[in-house]
Amino acid sequence: MPHTPPESAPLAPSPSAAAPAEADNAWITRTPPIHQGETGPLAGLSFAVKDNIDVAGFPTTAACPSFDRAPTESAKVVQNLLTAGAQLRGKTNLDQFACGLNGTRSPYGAVPNAFDARYVSGGSSAGSAYVVATGQVDFALGTDTAGSGRVPAGLNNIVGLKPSKGLISTRGVLPAAQSVDCVSIFARTVPMACRVLAVAMGHDPQDPYSRELALADQAFTPAFRFGVPLQRVFCGDALAEAAFDEAVTRLTAMGGVAVPVDMTPLLQAAALLYDSALVAERYAAIRGFFDAHETEVIEPVRSIIAAGRTHSAADVFDAQTRLQALGQQARAIWPHIDTLVVPTAPTHVTIAAMLADPVALNRHLGTYTNFVNLLDYAALSVPSSLRPDGLPFGITFIGPCGSDWQLAELGQRYHQLTGLAQGATGEPLPAPQPVAGLHPASASRVQVAVVGAHLSGMPLNSQLTQRHAQLVRTTRTAPDYRLYALPDSTPPKPGLLRVATGSGHAIALEIWDMPMAHYGSFVALIPPPLGIGTLRLEDGTTVQGFLCEPEALIHAQDISHLGGWRAYMASRSAG
C-alpha cells in the first residue's frame, strides 16, 4: 500500500538535544507508544526501528513510498524487544532500500549530522542513529550490510553494535543482501547496547541465515594486542588522522600493544561488495518490485540495484570463490591480534558535497566497514573524540565471529576514558557497568578480584590456574580501602579492609574469570580471617574479591601507602 510522509512533526527531542526535531527528517512513521507490559529487562526504555524492519500494522517503506509491504506481524527482533518491556516510538528514515552509507538517498529528506546539520549523518541507518544521538529514544535498531550500523554511529558520537551474522534474527527485515545482513543496535553507551543485544539475540529456525553461535565469554588479556592498519586512508582529512593517532595512544595507555596489519585482503574483499557479481544479491532482494517499478527508485540506488541484473550465476560463483580466497588470506591476521581497530569512517562529508558526488564519496565512508560482514566478523563502533571543528570521530573494534562480548568489554573501557558526553545530548556518561553479566553464559562463570598471594607469579596463584581461571585485567579499588600485612601468615598474605570515604587508598588488584563449577572449591581454600565480599573498583563497578575481618588487623602493619601487595613485597626484598 502506498505510504506518504507523515504530516505531523516527529517526536520531540529531550531539552538538551542538539537540533530541533522538526528539521531532522529522521522519522518516517511515528507511532503511539507500543509496548506489551510494564515489566521485563527493557521496561521503561523507548526505541525506534529503521523502516526496513517490520512492525505489525504499520507500513514498511524502505524509504520508497510506493513499496508495497503492509506487515501483519512484527519482525522477530522487534517482538523480542516488545516482550521485554521496551516501548516502540516509530520508524526511521534510511538510504532507500538500505543502499548507501550517507543518509541522503531518501525521498523523505536527508538526515543531517546531529552535531552540524551541514554534514551527512551517515547511513543507511541515518534516522535511527540521529534519534539516539539527540536523545529522542534510548536505543534504536538499524541494519548493517556494508557498515550501516557503524558509520552513522561514528559520525554522531554514539555506539553502534554490529553483531556476528546470524546472532539476531533477520526474519521480518527487508534484505539488502540477505546472506550478509545484520540487525544492528544504536545506543549512547555500550552497556545499553549489550542490554538490548541480550534480549534481541537468539537462534530463529525460520530465518535461513540464523545460527546458534558460541560467544566468547572471557575478556581480552590486560596486554591485549590490537591491529592498526598499515594502509591509512583518511581522504585528505588531517583532523580525522590526528584523531585516530590519539585513539591509538589511548589504547596503548590502557595496556594495549599496537600491531601493524596489512589490510590488503580486507580492502580487496570490500571492493567485491559493489564491484563484482555479489551486487546481484541486492537486486534479488527486491526483484519483483524493482522490475515492475524501476523508475520509482531514486538514483543512484536505481543504478546500483539494476547492475545486479547483468551478472550470470557463474559470475556470482566466481565472486564467492574470490571472497573465500581473500578470507583465507585474512585469517593469517588473527593469531597476532585480539582485535582490529580502525576509524569507523575516514572523514566527514557535507550534504552538498555528497549530493554532487554521491557514489565516490559514499564509497569513502565505507573504507573500513565494507569487508566486515563479508568476512564474517563482529564489530563495535564507539565514540573516540570530538575534533577541533566540533565533529565526532569514532573507532571500531573488529573481531572474529563470536567475539561480540569481548569487544563490548573493551569498548566500554575505552569509551569511559574519552570523557565524552552521550551523543549530542550534553549529558555525561553514566558510571560504567559490568557487561559480562549480560552475557548468556555469565551464570556459569564468576569474576573474582585478588590483592595478595593469589596475584600472578605469587605463591597461591596456582589455586586459580588449576581451576582454569584466566586473568581479565589489572586495575585498582576505589580509594576507600586500606591494606595490611597479616602477621604470622604462610605464605605472607595481606588483609584488605574498606574504610570511610576519604580515609583510604586505591589498592592494586587483578581480576580473574573462573568457571562457576570451580568457584566453590576455590572459596573453600580461603583461610580465616580472610573471606569473599564485594569490592568497589576505581571505575565505579563492583566485583567479588578478598576482604579481611577487622579484628584481625589490630596488630597488622598498615601498608596502604604503598598502593598494593607487589610494592610491599618489593620493599621487603629491597630492605
Sign of CA dihedral 211, 515, 449, 226: negative
Nearest-angstrom CA–CA distance, 105 and 115: 20
Active site includes 560?
no
Q: Give the strands of the sheet with 445-450, arranged side by side.
A: 470-476, 508-515, 445-450, 542-548, 530-536
Nearest-angstrom CA–CA distance, 277 and 316: 5
How is residue 22 annotated by DSSP?
A: G
User: Do strands 159-162 and 27-34 pair parallel, antiparallel, or not at all (unpaired)?
Assistant: unpaired
Active site includes 50?
yes
List the catalytic residue out of 50, 76, 162, 165: 50
Q: Count CA atoms within 13 Å of residue 108 on its CB side.
A: 33
Q: Which residues contact 422 (CB under 8 A, 6 or more apart)?
A: 135, 158, 188, 189, 428, 429
Query: What's the grid cell of residue 395?
Result: 573507532
Tell me the C-alpha to C-alpha distance, in Å, between residue 353 and each of 102, 349, 386: 11, 7, 22
Nearest-angstrom CA–CA distance, 348 and 103: 12
Active site includes 493?
no
Angle of the 238-253 helix axis to the 404-418 helix axis, nearest 10? 100
Query: What's the grid cell of residue 132?
Result: 539516539
Residue linked to cell 580461603: 526
Nearest-angstrom CA–CA distance, 571 and 575: 6
List the catalytic residue out of 124, 210, 381, 384: 124
> What is the 3 state secondary structure string of 60-98?
CCCCCCCCCCCCCCCCHHHHHHHHCCCEEEEEECCCHHH
List the catalytic residue out of 74, 121, 128, 148: 148
- DSSP assignment of 225-258: EEEEESS---TT-HHHHHHHHHHHHHHHHTT-EE
Give burial (CB, 10 Å; 0-12/13-18/19+) of 65: middle
Catalytic residues: 50, 124, 148
